[in-house]
């Protein structure tokens, strides 16, 4: 009889973990307190790179590089299987007027990544809608963005088609079932649900759930607000980033501008202050947006963690309970590698990368 896994949290991390475990033949039940993929995974920008990759530790870099190489194939597979295209869109990215440009270029040389300085006149030639006054630019041509609402829609469709996957939405988990020194399942409003192993992938809510076991996981909600414009399809040919704010073009001409970084607990209310701040950033980056209508404004909660290094692995003090959470600003970037690493560890396979930096032991 195959093992039964229980995944708590139905964002990109939870859904992709479910997909990879189910593909191995295991029975997987995915529990989500709200609707699948409607929290942080839906709300983010979807740049398939950390905003400033050179500012992160080797642990984040290892996951990011593996995922970046994996995304195009994942998108093709999901499109073939479900008919839903996650739209992995390779546009490249220009960073403008960076304070730590030298560090960025040195990092790229060490890592063998394609990132180089370009003459500012060339940047303006490539991105004619760019605002005036920028002095310097560096460019990474291979960076893509994924249309995250379509990614979670594709993952949901793929999981729905799998006979060994059970999806339970609007089923909040309230705690864990312990039996004989092991975690054997979870408690919900509908009663206990038992499994051989449980994976906690509840994003910003992961810390709240672990508190029921008397554990203080250093994962907290960090609010981010975004706005959305609709422009012509060819309006913005590349992603651009300056002063901590970015513009992301989708294939159909939607332009995402983000994002704020707010420590406001679990409050997800969009605010007028953030709207004005984001509009000001948008118009500084791309002055033509002054005449464009804001067609969307929303907020999501990132799972903030120390240095943005996720927790991936089994909890030694609670065997049977595994973590895949705490990805902070890079959940979508790191999801493929994080979920593959988790599946490798749970299934006893050779892990894709060294799992030690992500192990929960000693990190609480």
Burial 46-65 (b: 16+ CB within 10 A, else e): bbbbbbbbbebeebbbbbbb
Which residue shows structure tokens 């999801």? 335
Distance CA 232, CA 283 (A): 16
Residue ending a domain, choose from 262, 282, 304 = 304
Residues 187 and 210 in one domain: yes
Same domain? For 120 and 251 the reply is: yes
- CATH assignment at residue 266: 3.30.9.10
Where a domain ends, among 286, 304, 322? 304
79 within domain boundaries: no
Asked whether residue 42 falls in the same domain as residue 160, the answer is yes
**pLDDT < 50 positions in the chain:** none
Q: Let me know whether 226 and 346 are in one domain.
A: no
Same-domain check for residues 170 and 60: yes
Site of tokens 């590349």 = 238
Same domain, 277 and 170: no
Write down the pLDDT at residue 364. 87
- Assess whether 258 and 225 both reside in one domain: yes
Provide the number of structural domains found in the chain. 2
- Report yes or no: 317 and 212 within 8 Å, Cβ to Cβ: no
Does 224 share its domain with 298? yes
Query: Are 161 and 267 contained in the same domain?
Result: no
Shared domain for 232 and 295, answered yes or no, is yes
The whole-number pLDDT of residue 10 equals 98
Give the predicted TM-score (pTM) of the model.
0.97
Question: Looking at residue 41, which CATH number applies to its domain?
Answer: 3.50.50.60
| Per-state percent for the chain, helix, strand, coil, to nearest 5 | 35, 25, 40
pLDDT single digits (tens) 85-108: 999 999 999 999 999 999 999 999
- Residues 213 and 311 grouped into a single domain: yes
Question: Could you tell me the residue range of the domain that residue 349 belongs to?
Answer: 4-64+149-219+306-358
Q: How far apart are CA 274 and CA 271, in angstroms?
A: 5
Note whether 226 and 348 are same-domain residues. no
Could you tell me the sign of the dihedral formed by the alpha carbons of 7, 269, 257, 85, in that order?
positive
């Amino acid at each position: 009889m195959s093992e039964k896994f229980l995944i708590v949290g139905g964002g990109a991390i939870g859904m992709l973990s479910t997909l990879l475990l189910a593909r191995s033949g295991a029975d997987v039940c995915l529990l989500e307190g709200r609707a699948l993929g409607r929290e942080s995974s839906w709300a983010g920008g979807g740049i398939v790179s950390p905003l400033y990759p050179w500012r992160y530790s080797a642990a984040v870099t290892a996951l990011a590089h593996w995922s970046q190489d994996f995304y195009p194939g994942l998108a093709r597979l999901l499109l073939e299987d479900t008919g839903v295209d996650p739209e992995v869109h390779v546009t490249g990215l220009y960073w403008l007027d960076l304070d730590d440009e030298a560090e960025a270029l040195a990092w790229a040389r060490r890592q063998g990544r394609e990132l180089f300085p370009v003459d500012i006149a060339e940047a303006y030639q490539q991105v004619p809608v760019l605002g005036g006054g920028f002095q310097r630019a560096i460019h990474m041509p291979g960076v893509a963005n994924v249309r995250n609402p379509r990614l979670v829609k594709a993952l949901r469709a793929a999981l729905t088609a799998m006979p060994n996957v059970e999806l339970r939405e609007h089923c909040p988990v309230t705690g864990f079932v312990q039996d004989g020194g092991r975690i054997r399942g979870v408690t919900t409003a509908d009663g206990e649900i038992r499994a051989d192993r449980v994976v906690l992938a509840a994003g910003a809510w992961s810390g709240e759930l672990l508190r029921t076991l008397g554990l203080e996981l250093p994962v907290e909600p960090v609010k981010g607000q975004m706005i959305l414009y609709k422009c012509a399809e060819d309006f913005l040919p590349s992603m651009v980033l300056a002063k901590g704010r970015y513009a992301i073009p989708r294939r159909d001409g939607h332009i995402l501008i983000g994002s704020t970084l707010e420590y406001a607990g679990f409050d997800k209310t969009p605010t007028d202050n953030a709207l004005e701040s984001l509009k000001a950033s948008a118009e500084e980056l791309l002055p033509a947006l002054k005449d464009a209508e804001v067609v969307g404004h929303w907020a999501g909660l990132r799972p903030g963690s120390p240095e943005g290094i996720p927790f991936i692995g089994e909890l030694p003090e609670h065997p049977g309970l595994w973590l895949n959470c705490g990805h902070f600003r890079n959940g979508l970037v790191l999801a493929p590698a994080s979920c593959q690493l988790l599946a490798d560890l749970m299934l006893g396979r050779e892990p894709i990368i060294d799992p030690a930096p992500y192990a929960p032991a000693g990190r609480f």
